[in-house]
Amino acid sequence: MAFEYAPAPESRAVVDIAPSYGLFIDGEFREATGGKVFKTVSPSTEEVLSEVAQASAEDVDAAVKAARKAFEKWSALPGSERAKYLFRIARIIQERSRELAVLETLDNGKPIKETRDADLPLVAAHFFYYAGWADKLDHAGFGPNPRPLGVAGQVIPWNFPLLMLAWKIAPALAAGNTVVLKPAETTPLSALFFADICRQAGLPKGVVNILTGDGSTGAALVGHEGVDKVAFTGSTAVGKQIARTVAGTDKKLTLELGGKGANIVFDDAPIDQAVEGIVNGIFFNQGQVCCAGSRLLVQESIQDELLDALKRRMSTLRVGDPLDKNTDVGAINSAEQLARITALADSGEAEGAERWAPACELPSAGYWFAPTLFTNVTQAHRIAREEIFGPVLSVLTFRTPAEAVAKANNSQYGLSAGIWTEKGSRMLAVASKLRAGVVWANTFNKFDPTSPFGGYKESGFGREGGRHGLEAYLDV
Amino acid sequence: MADVTASDGALRRFLHGLPGVDPVGLEARAAALGTRSIKTTAKAYAIDLAISMIDLTTLEGADTPGKVRALCAKALNPDPTDRDTPRTAAICVYPDMVATAAESLRGSEVKVASVATAFPAGRAALPVKLADTIDAVAAGADEIDMVIDRGAFLAGRYLSVFEEIKAVKEACRRQDGTAARLKVIFETGELSTYDNIRRASWLGMLAGADFIKTSTGKVAVNATPANTLLMLEAVRDFRDTTGVQVGVKPAGGIRTTKDAMKFLVLVNETVGEEWLTNEWFRFGASSLLNDLLMQRQKLSTGRYSGPDYVTVD
Amino acid sequence: MSERLSVFKTYKLFVGGKFPRSESGRVYEVTDSKGKWLANAPLSSRKDARDAIVAARKAFGGWSGATAYNRGQILYRVAEMLEGRRDQFVAEVADAEGLSKSKAAAQVDAAIDRWVWYAGWTDKIAQVVGGTNPVAGPFFNVSSPEPTGVVAVVAPQESSLLGLVSVIAPVIAGGSTVVVVASEKAPLPALSLGEVLATSDVPGGVVNILSGKAAEIFPSVAAHQDVNAIDLAGADAELAKALEVAAADNLKRVVRPQPVDWSADPGTKRLTAFLETKTVWHPTGSLGAGGSSY
């Protein structure tokens, strides 16, 4: 008799979503000028969760002005006082983490297991880490008394809504900046809940402003002349557009963009852990991760063995209700993203790669894509070059370490890479030759607030996390 | 695979050629599977399955026939208030208690397992170990839980360990041509590294183990989710390579239903359904049984049970 | 006695360790501050820039792979060679910038000292800006700076030698390779610096020096897909904006033009501007799976 896990849904009752939300400007929620709204849906069911305001250019202006006004006092506060606000925020996040995890899972579609065990702990940790920097900036290696930049305009993506918010807001506030943040159009809710956390923490009004909206809101924000700093995480195409927008201004810019990470498996790899790392690398968050290990480079001599093991492991992935505690792979975030993944996967087939997916029943409502593997992929295939941002792994082979490095680096991107080998010298040699900002050796997709994260080449510039992450928000 | 055991060198090359184990990754995988939420019907199924997989164990210097008989009664009738409760898989005792246990369990499907080979340290000459085994089998043991010579293993004398297991396997034969099933205990806590545990697993299986077992229960670290996961991977890979199925028995330190659920999840998601039977998976445990019984009562009555509502042995 | 007729120097570009003329065959007239003819300088074309970028890319692997100690030795060697030709550069800088001999000498001395400053940085910057990160888990985690790649620079227009050295030395100190367009009106000290570099153990292609009009050459450089970063020190605001827009096509790192006192302490800003932080994780874990209590 098979061991079938009974449904184990996390309770929705811990989160109370209002039917509508306004913009959070100058410490209060207000409707958008013009009164435009849009709906946010749960990607796993297509249920409408709430209606949120579409910020106009006027709203952007109001938010930037509020942030500018708040900047004077906020930046003049002793660092130790700013620190305590951030510590408060970190603690409130810890207290409300279950609620926020459920909320994030509802709005994003990712498994509760991930929001509970990865997103939320990292969010709290990030605030906790940067809180401690606020009164130690003199010691951060940027010279004495480094100054904040002013108003930071921050635009974040939908794949880790609250975590990306934390990556942006925590260092900005610690350094003494004020912020106007725009969450992604499809995942606005956790940022709006964060506004409430700012209220509970007693954060002075105007220090954090949250504007919901679409790409036009983001464009208005980064183009606003009152913004001193632009931080963006998202697609490389939009990142380039932003770089053009801020050209010729004094705005400091950091960009965290796309990737096509190579996960390199040598013949002496710890195979079982490598399989876990490959699975984690591409199916964590449905592969909607900029640093995903979306290209598997496997040494030809162990290809069959590794792929057998990988397929066996993929067959045990549990795809379905994101709120179920046993779900490994949740929903794709939007119909639009699903269409993009589908189109790229279809191109893989059309270009001659061999497609495989485990038998798995996908829910009828919502946006779903089965974990998928492509073999017989070459560097020339689109699925080996373009970021799919979905649960689709392209498998390529190599014969020697030099070939592995050459293939791994043969990309416009340079965000992440993985190395699996039990040989220390090879690991270090390969790590030093990879043109990527984060290299995971015998592990993958690990994050920590102390660890700088960011890309080479078209994966962007600047680092988030660690001491390095402060630089983006200081006039140094 | 006979050639890999042709010489000490060949065996060493083979064992050291097995894929390495990254400890952090292994433990992370075991911990991740430990977060599975087993509820309602799945929990009921898993509790009964876990009870049926227990080698109910007493391995004390103070063991007496009375104690062993009481334990056998418990194995046969774990919950006097609910006769539908499954029986445990076996009773596990020292060799000198085998006859008593066999007598108590006669006619039932509950097996008698006996530790042997100078358990738990295994520090005795081979003839002594074989005599220990032969004695237990003759007294009616259905299963023999032997310990490997960890000293020889750690000294790199793999062939010696291999030959010893083979000899004990031979000693498990009965005159009628049948044989007691052989569980090979590695004492993973003493082997210390996961690479050693993987090598010992293959070594044991190559030598003819019917089961590979983590521990004696007598050292600081016994069965853990990580070492059991690793051994499950080994039996999976061994069957893929040779077609021979080998069982796994984590022993020592598994005391709660929650723990047992985690181990069953490991089995389910590593080797699957074919190992989800007491023919291929066992728990070496004693106090675990009562916790399972209390959880079982909670599921059937809706009330939390207490220690006075299960039998002490 | 009639005055001896001097031998003029033909100024050439410095690309890939060689001294080519511009492939365009064009030159332009370089004068001193009073308008007196000094020399003809090559008027580099976009193709010259392309060749220089190819040379810089080719040199990148070796230069970035050299030990930091080795790079420091080579940068120090540049200072030694420049010191040896101090008088020549004092004269060239005086002509180029219309300075008195003593003021020109101060510029040259500062330029020499700047090489020494960056020579000392090569094997220290990684310790200052990198290090291990105390992540909350069983992992060894280390961040180290790595060179960005091929960096193209518009040299400062006014400070023909000190400004030039101040923008190229930090690039190569960090392990990147450089293509620089010298000050348009005062390119001669830059072209002479090529001769110093060629005799200083700097591998060919690590520094490539072009003369000509940045406004003509640089748009294609800023758009070049195999350039990783640009320093617009010597570009005017309008040109800089256009170049920054072009640079966005492959997300080059951009250092915008800003007022700089080249004689002041340079700090590490230009050094770190062309470094990428790479963070490597590796599991650590415990020594073993358990012990014995016997």
Question: What does A368-417 look like in DSSP terms, one character per residue?
Answer: ----EEEES--TTSHHHHS---SSEEEEEEESSHHHHHHHHH-SS--SEE
Cβ contacts (< 8 Å) between C245 and chain A: which residues?
244, 247-248
**3-class DSSP state of B198:** helix
- How many Cβ contacts (< 8 angstroms) between chains B and C? 53
pLDDT, mean over chain B: 97
Number of domains in chain B: 1
Is residue B166 annotated as part of the catalytic site, yes or no? Answer: no
Interface test with B, best of C135, C281, C286, C294 (most B CBs within 10 A): C294
* Residue in C with minimal Cα distance to A475: C269
Residue C31: both structure tokens together? 């004068």
Interchain pair B226, C289: CB under 8 A:
yes
User: Catalytic annotation on A256?
Assistant: yes
Q: Which two tokens stand for residue C4?
A: 């001896």
| A304 touches B: beta carbon within 8 Å | no
pLDDT at C293: 42
Amino acid identity of residue B2, one-letter, is: A
Q: A2 pLDDT band (50/70/90 cuts)?
A: confident
Strand-by-strand arrangement of the A20-21 sheet: A20-21, A48-53, A37-41
Q: Does some domain include residue B150?
A: yes
At A453-471, the pLDDT tens digits run 999 999 999 999 999 999 9
What is the least distance, in Å, from the CA of B117 to any CA of chain C?
17
Spacing of C-alpha A269 from chain mean position: 28
Q: Say if residue A301's pLDDT is above 50.
A: yes
Q: What is the DSSP string of chain C?
A: -PPPPPPPP----BBTTB-PPPTT--EEEEE-TTS-EEEEEE---HHHHHHHHHHHHHHHHHHHHS-HHHHHHHHHHHHHHHHHTHHHHHHHHHHHHT--HHHHHHHHHHHHHHHHHHHHHTTTHHHHH-EE---SSSEEEEEEEEE-SEEEEE--SS-TTHHHHHHHHHHHHTT-EEEEEPPSS--HHHHHHHHHHHTTTPPTTSEEEE-S-HHHHHHHHHH-TT--EEE-TT--HHHHHHHHHHHGGGT-EEE------TTS--TTHHHHTTEEEEEEEEE---S-S-----
Catalytic residue among B111, B169, B213, B262: B213
For the stretch A320-345, pLDDT in tens is: 999 999 999 999 999 999 999 999 99
**Angle made by CA atoms B85, B87, B88, in degrees to the nearest 5:** 130
On chain A, the residues whose CB falls within 8 A of the CB of B28 are 276
**pLDDT tens-digit readout, A95-109:** 999 999 999 999 999
In a domain, B311, yes or no: no
- CB of B232 within 8 Å of a chain A CB? The answer is no
Please provide residue A59's backbone torsions phi and psi, each rounded to the nearest 5 degrees.
-65, -40
Cis check: omega of the bond before B120, within 30 degrees of 0: yes
d(CA C231, CA C233): 6
pLDDT for the residue C33: 87
**HEC string of A108-147?**
HCCCHHHHHHHHHHHHHHHHHHHHHHCCCHHHCCCCCCCC
Query: Which residues on chain C are in Cβ contact (under 8 Å) with A434?
Result: 278
Residue A447 has pLDDT above 90, yes or no: yes
Task: Please check whether the two domains, A12-257+456-471 and A262-441, share a CATH topology.
Answer: no
> How would you class A235 by CB atoms within 10 Å of its CB: exposed for 0-12, middle for 13-18, buried for 19 or more?
middle
B249 is catalytic: yes
Which ranges of A77-119 does DSSP label H, i.e. alpha helix?
A: 79-95, 97-108, 112-114
Q: Is residue B48 part of a domain?
A: yes
B216 interfacial to chain C (CB closer than 8 Å) = no
Domain residue ranges in chain A: 12-257+456-471, 262-441
CA distance B159 to B146: 17
Domain-located, residue B313: no
Given a contact cutoff of 8 angstroms between Cβ atoms, the answer to whether A168 and A231 are in contact is yes
Helix axes A189-201, A161-175, angle to 10 degrees: 40
Contacts of A170 (CB under 8 A, 6+ apart): A86, A126, A127, A129, A130, A131, A449
Q: How far apart are the first and last CA of chain B?
A: 45
Cα dihedral A315/A317/A318/A319 (nearest 10) = -90
Binary contact (B26, A443; C-beta < 8 A)? no
Find the length of chain C: 294
| pLDDT score of A69 more than 60 | yes
Inter-chain residue contact B19 with A272, CB threshold 8 Å: yes
Tell me which residue of B148, B144, B203 sits closest to B174, measured CA to CA: B144
pLDDT of residue C294: 43
Give residue for tokens 């709660």. Answer: B256
Question: Which residues in chain A touch residue C247, judged by CB atoms under 8 angstroms apart?
Answer: 243, 247
Domains, chain C, in order of start with CATH, read: 37-283 (3.40.605.10)
Q: What is the pLDDT of residue C1?
A: 60
Q: Which domain holds residue B13?
A: 2-303
Average pLDDT over residues B218-240: 96
Chain C contact present for A287, CB below 8 A: no
Check A272 against B26: CB less than 8 A apart: yes
Q: Cβ(B211)–Cβ(B182) under 8 Å?
A: yes
- Please give the model's pTM, rounded to 2 decimal places: 0.97
B277: nearest CA in chain A?
A1
**Are the Cβ atoms of B220 and C290 closer than 8 angstroms?**
yes
Total residues belonging to chain A:
476
Residues of C with CB under 8 A from a CB of B: 138-139, 283-294
| All residues at 6 or more sequence positions from B2 whose CB lies less than 8 Å from its CB, including other chains | none
Q: Using alpha carbons, select from B107, B22, C133, C80 the residue that is nearest to residue A450.
A: C133
Cα distances (Å, whole numbers) of residue A148 to A198, C100, C257: 20, 42, 21
**Per-residue tokens: B264:** 């069953």
Position of tokens 């639009």? A336
Exactly one of A104, A256, A387, A464 is catalytic; which is it? A256
User: What is the end-to-end Cα distance of chain A in Å, rounded?
Assistant: 65
Query: Which residues of A fall within a CB distance of 8 Å from C249?
Result: 240
At B223, give phi and psi (nearest 5°).
Answer: -70, 135
Q: How many residues does chain B have?
A: 313
Interface test with A, best of B18, B21, B22 (most A CBs within 10 A): B22
Q: What is the DSSP letter of A56?
A: -
- Strand-pair category, A20-21 with B247-249: unpaired
Neighbors of chain C by Cβ distance (3+ pairs < 8 Å): A, B
Q: How many CA atoms lie within 13 A of A369 on its CB side?
A: 30
| C-alpha distance from C131 to closest chain B C-alpha (Å) | 22
Domain of B253: which CATH number? 3.20.20.70
Is B309 a domain residue? no
Reading chain C (294 residues) residue by residue, the pLDDT tens digits are 678 999 999 999 999 999 999 999 999 999 998 999 999 999 999 999 999 999 999 999 999 999 999 999 999 999 999 999 999 999 999 999 999 999 999 999 999 999 999 999 999 999 999 999 999 999 999 999 999 999 999 999 999 999 999 999 999 999 999 999 999 999 999 999 999 999 999 999 999 999 999 999 999 999 999 999 999 999 999 999 999 999 999 999 999 999 999 999 999 999 999 999 999 999 998 787 654 444
**CATH for the stretch A262-441:** 3.40.309.10
Cβ contact (<8 Å) for B219 and C290? yes
Tell me which fold the domain A12-257+456-471 belongs to. Aldehyde Dehydrogenase; Chain A, domain 1 (3.40.605)
Contact C284 B24 (CB under 8 A): yes
Are residues A151 and A225 in contact, defined by beta-carbon separation less than 8 angstroms? no
Shortest Cα distance from C144 to chain B (angstroms)?
Answer: 23
Cβ atoms of A103 and A15 within 8 Å: the answer is yes
The answer for B 48-107 residues in CB contact with C (under 8 A) is none
Does the residue B312 lie in any domain? no
CB contact under 8 A, B37 and A8: yes
Residue A1, pLDDT > 80, answer no
Q: How far apart are CA A307 and CA A44, in angstroms?
A: 30
pLDDT at C289: 61
Contacts of B260 (CB under 8 A, 6+ apart): B46, B47, B50, B254, B283, B288, B292
Q: What are A286's two structure tokens?
A: 């449905």
Q: Is residue B308 domain-resident? A: no
- Return the pLDDT at C291: 45
Which of chain C's residues have a Cβ under 8 Å away from the Cβ of A431? 278, 280
How many whole angstroms separate alpha carbon C12 and alpha carbon C198? 13
In single-letter form, the type of residue at position B46 comes to A
Residue-wise pLDDT for A211-264, tens only, equals 999 999 999 999 999 999 999 999 999 999 999 999 999 999 999 999 999 999
Give me the phi and psi of B9, to 5 degrees please.
Answer: -65, -45
Q: Which are the contacts of B20, defined by CB distance < 8 A and separation ≥ 6?
A: A268, A269, A270, A422, B195
ipTM over 0.90: yes
